[in-house]
Amino acid sequence: MQPVSRAAAHFRADVEGLRAIAVLSVVAFHYGVPSVTGGFVGVDVFFVISGYLISQLLLREIAATGKLDFLGFYGRRAKRLLPAALAVTVATLTIGYFVLAPFEQKEMAKSATASALYAANVWLLRQSTNYFAPESSLNPFLHTWSLSVEEQFYLFWPAFLLLVSRISQNVLLIALLIVVFGSFAACFYLTYGKQAWAFYLAPPRAWEFGLGALIATRPFEDWMRQPGSSRLIVGWLSFAVLILSFFAIDGFMPFPGVVAMVPVFATALLLLTGDDPAGPSALLRMRPFQFFDARSYAIYLWHWPIAVLGTVLVGGTALAHCLFFAMTVVLSSLSFAWLERPIRSSYWLAQRSVRSIAMGGALTLIATVAGVLSFTIAQYVTDAAQAAIVASTSKFSLASESGCLAGFTTPKPIRCVFGPSNYTKTIVLLGDSHADQWTTALTAIAEQKGWRLITYLRASCPVADISISKVYSLRLRRLSSQCASWREQAIAKIKNQDTPDAILLAQFSSGNVKGPFTNLGPHAVSVETWERGLFRALKELEPLGVKLIVLRDNPTPYHPVGNCLARAEWRGLPFSTCSRSLSLTMSDEVFEAEQRVVSSINNARMIDLTSSICTDLVCPAIRDGIVVYRDANHLTVDFTLLLKDRLAADLTAAL
């Protein structure tokens, strides 16, 4: 959260308190505080506040002098932002060297370099990074995307305000309205098409800054000075709506888009209703909020690297997160007292703006060099063992490599055929990525047995006839109705185009059901709903009169096993630290529900390979010298090939 000079921006304690709430909400979200599913909108709150304070500063300078001191503006930002950012970057890269595996260090170094150049948002977009996906929690510089958005916005904003305000106040207002409505239109459109663009890029976020800027104009400032009880009512209602948004919004909603209007307009109205002591200002002025505001920028910088690296070292328990927060407060206080405040108040830097600009350039160069150096070192220390782990977890199935796994935005089923031309039986594989992971082994079996294998696969679309979500999912990047449509089309193709001897169904069962194993959060379904959904799917296939074989979902460790193994090898720890107890990797409830369904359907069978993946007590990360898991829930290609003979025997018996 980037600071603004109190004097220059005509200090309002309520705005300072609001900024504290914004940064604390983000920290609460990142630290997994229960129910704070929308804490990430604290960034949007700060965008509005920033637009208000910075635009207020610029407009008052223009009104007083008729011009802008561009060097002074950018010099002030450089000395306020870059010293703390450099400290966090160097500290994170240094600690990351000892904590993370070399391949993780390389990714961290790339993100650090992008962050140093204030291009983290563009880098994350190019990497197709989903801010809400579990794998994003491995990037210590993920949070710097918002700082990049802000600095990109302020590259043109001062010149824009100077240009339009010189013409007239009316032109200024019209120009700001054009920015707000134009940017929001782009944001709305992209949210439902290319939502990562709407989330990460500055132009679709400009409306949030622009709305804050509107409130900083003279007509709105004049209105703020007028007394009235209605302002108090609006203020308290806006405050309540803002707090509620931290709990009501979640990462599965179409964000930013229309959803972002809730915290953004609540913040704008809070700014507009002023600092009446009878309003929310009475709370926001309290000393705890002022304390956290003074350190808000440092808190924002430090909290996420501490969480990422700390979780790798000690885990992500509630107690650990409390410790991380305490460390964040301590480090941010030290940063504020010993680094930020002395440099901001430096008389030598204040004498000439060019000194601050030069210092900023030097710090940016140092941070960039640190990122490049970190990458180079990680490249150098990558040995054969590290390379082998990465290679094993980077290999994708035959179907994926052949373009047969439909992506999140592919609405129609893709029919692929594998196996010999002279076949004796036809097996259809229907399912999601947990079906796809078996295609290399199944193709080998088909070649060996003289079978034809036909696949219908789509990522994150289970065979069970359920509704994953009522809204567009940012995590899955599609409407849930597309899964139902895909399933119907795939089954229609099987009925009309294929003449199978058996249909093999595989899916990420426990990941779709409420409980400790789900990755769908509040939009997961109950065991009962899953049971009914699987029953409907099998019942629809039953009239074909062929064997219906349900492959029990594999145990899932729910942590990135490849990363864990690479870290263990790097730090000299036993690979067993990456194994998981069997009871923590599977849902017996889901399995029992699926067994009930299978027993109620004619010609239905179930195959359970659990005993070949895990022992009676433990699911190892490496078995018979082979890495078991590609990520947090998929098996590696090499390990599925290790199970090929067992799978072939079970399939033959089921047929």
Question: pLDDT confidence of 470, banded at 50, 70, 90?
Answer: very low
Say yes or no to pLDDT of 8 above 70.
Answer: no
Say yes or no to pLDDT of 7 above 80.
Answer: no
Residues 92, 371 contacting (CB under 8 angstroms): no
Confidence (pLDDT) at 555:
94
Q: How far apart are CA 430 and CA 200, in angstroms?
A: 35
Say yes or no to pLDDT of 216 above 90.
Answer: yes
Confidence (pLDDT) at 514:
85
% of the chain exceeding 90 in pLDDT: 79
What is the architecture, at CATH level 2, of domain 396-556+583-613? 3-Layer(aba) Sandwich (3.40)
137, 173, 347 from 183: Cα distances, Å: 29, 15, 40
* Beta-strand relationship, 618-619 and 580-581: antiparallel
Read off the tokens for 641: 């090939």
Confidence (pLDDT) at 472:
39
Residues 58, 158 contacting (CB under 8 angstroms): yes
Give 419-469 pLDDT, tens digit per residue. Answer: 998 999 999 999 999 999 999 999 999 999 999 999 999 998 899 998 654
Give 508-532 pLDDT, tens digit per residue. Answer: 998 888 887 776 766 788 999 999 9
Confidence (pLDDT) at 396:
94
Confidence (pLDDT) at 473:
47
Neighbours of 186 (CB within 10 A): 18
Say yes or no to pLDDT of 37 above 50.
Answer: yes
Question: pLDDT confidence of 3, banded at 50, 70, 90?
Answer: low
Say which range, 13-22, 259-268, 458-467, has the weakest mean pLDDT: 458-467
CATH 3.40.50 domain residues, the chain: 396-556+583-613
Neighbours of 29 (CB within 10 A): 21
Helix ranges (DSSP H) in 542-615: 561-571, 588-599, 610-613
159, 300, 573, 579, 632 from 134: Cα distances, Å: 40, 20, 24, 19, 9
For the residues 151-176, what does the mean pLDDT come to?
96
Instruction: Supply the pTM of this predicted model.
Output: 0.91
Question: pLDDT confidence of 11, banded at 50, 70, 90?
Answer: low
User: Using CA of residue 268, residue 271, residue 277, residue 282, what is the dihedral sign?
Assistant: positive
For the residues 100-127, what does the mean pLDDT come to?
96
Confidence (pLDDT) at 633:
92
* Between 584 and 289, residue with greater pLDDT: 289
Read off the tokens for 50: 């920033």
% of the chain exceeding 70 in pLDDT: 95
* Mean pLDDT for all residues in the chain: 92
